[in-house]
A and B are shown apart, each in its own frame.
Chain A
Amino acid sequence: MLHIKGVAIDRSIASESRVGSDADVLVRPNHIDALLGAMRDHGWVVHSTFETGSPFEHAITLTHGVWGYADVHRHFPGIGVPAERAFDRLWQDRSVMTIAGVGCPVPSVAAQSLILVLNAARAGGHAGVDLRAAWTGASDSRKGEILALRDELEAHVGFAAATGDLEEYRGARDYDLWRVTVGGGTRIEEWMARIRAAPSRRAAWDLVQRATRVNLDHLAHRLGRVPGRADVMREFFARPARGLREETTTFLHRRGWRR
């Protein structure tokens, strides 16, 4: 696995003001099951799954009574080539960083910069800090390395979403997903964007089916307990009503109506 983000970022591109609250690792995709099995054996508990954690379905979040949160990534949002190929490429240029006295493999500095830029598109208020540290403040030679890696890993759309050039990719399959990620949108818009970004018809159909189901992880976190059948039933009927309210509010907001 490769340690990414947070304290694993090279000092030359790390921002002093960014303090992480979890550990992030990118794992070779065919090692994911073995790692998750080992983590469960050592007391880690799933907090949110790949499917429910984010619209990109890229990471599973686990929590441990001693160590806190860990995000285990099976791919990184924005990287277009297959996950196994992307991991191989990043692994090829890895180095080792000592974190808490333990040697941890990390991607090259150029790869870390690319990851930070892609992350900036989803980072909300921290986007500017990460983008400055990893991209706008980089030397010309470092920018060249980052762009070469972006091309190799087919990360153009996510990269453009972070740098404000997303409109250049209007025709891309994942354009809407990045537009909603950067600019916000209703839950229905997000699901439509996810379905459009699906890599195959089968994946799109799976998403259509999942869109109607209750997100049990989110419901459990909101309730602060394991939801019972009645909770799930209530949520099943509440979601469409909430979605409709969101759509109406957004519709009115976009047309300049204010309460």
Chain B
Amino acid sequence: MTSYRCAPAVAQVECQEGGRSVVYLGRLPDGPLIVLEGSALAIWLAAVDQSRPDRSGQGEGLVDRVAASVGVPANAVREDVTDFVTTLVRSGFLEVSEEPGGGTGSVPRTRPAPDAPDLRSST
């Protein structure tokens, strides 16, 4: 089972700006610094939340979580969610954890992020 978690060298600040929730993510020590809001924030929160044990026991996937949080069918967001999560992993903000058999008690194996593109221009 693939799950994600915030990479250890990422600083994050959650705050309200103009009545909207935003998250600043900074990859230490060199950057980049990105700001997530709206759908990008929904994907981030669903991704880092997925790294916690699944309390629902329903095996709810990342795409389903995002779809549920924005109130649209999973098929409508699947491609965008997958692309954005891939970008976050490549840029070193998210880490991939492979949990054999989907067990929640095992220590996840982590895959280091490959060379990260600069997200500043795309966010």
A contacts, CB < 8 Å to B: 42-43, 64-67, 99-102
A36, chain B: closest CB distance, angstroms: 14
A96, chain B: closest CB distance, angstroms: 15
Q: Are B13 and A66 in contact (CB under 8 A)?
A: no
A139, chain B: closest CB distance, angstroms: 31
The size class of the interface chain B forms with chain A is: 10 to 19
Q: Does B26 contact A (CB under 8 A)?
A: yes
Interface flags for B3-16 (1: CB within 8 Å of A; 0: not) read 00010001111000
Q: What number of A-B contacts does a CB cutoff of 8 Å give? A: 26
A99 to B26 CA separation, bound complex (whole angstroms)? 12
A43 to B27 CA separation, bound complex (whole angstroms)? 14
Note all chain B residues with C-beta closer than 8 A to A99: 11
Residue of A with least CB distance to B29: A42
Q: Does B30 contact A (CB under 8 A)?
A: yes
Checking B10, B12, B31 against A67 with a beta-carbon cut-off of 8 angstroms, the contacting residue is B31
B contacts, CB < 8 Å to A: 6, 10-13, 24, 26, 28-33
Checking A66, A100, A101, A102 against B31 with a beta-carbon cut-off of 8 angstroms, the contacting residue is A66
Q: Are B30 and A43 in contact (CB under 8 A)?
A: yes
A136, chain B: closest CB distance, angstroms: 30
Note all chain B residues with C-beta closer than 8 A to A66: 26, 30-33
A42 to B30 CA separation, bound complex (whole angstroms)? 6
B65, chain A: closest CB distance, angstroms: 21
Q: Are A102 and B11 in contact (CB under 8 A)?
A: yes
Note all chain A residues with C-beta closer than 8 A to B24: 100
A42 to B28 CA separation, bound complex (whole angstroms)? 10
Note all chain A residues with C-beta closer than 8 A to B11: 99-102
Note all chain A residues with C-beta closer than 8 A to B33: 66-67
Note all chain A residues with C-beta closer than 8 A to B10: 101
Q: Are B29 and A100 in contact (CB under 8 A)?
A: no
A43 to B28 CA separation, bound complex (whole angstroms)? 12
Note all chain A residues with C-beta closer than 8 A to B31: 64-67
Checking A42, A65, A100 against B26 with a beta-carbon cut-off of 8 angstroms, the contacting residue is A100
Note all chain A residues with C-beta closer than 8 A to B32: 66
Q: Which of B6, B30, B32 has the most CB of A within 10 A?
A: B30
A43 to B30 CA separation, bound complex (whole angstroms)? 7
Residue of A with least CB distance to B13: A100
B44, chain A: closest CB distance, angstroms: 13
B98, chain A: closest CB distance, angstroms: 24
Residue of B with least CB distance to A65: B31
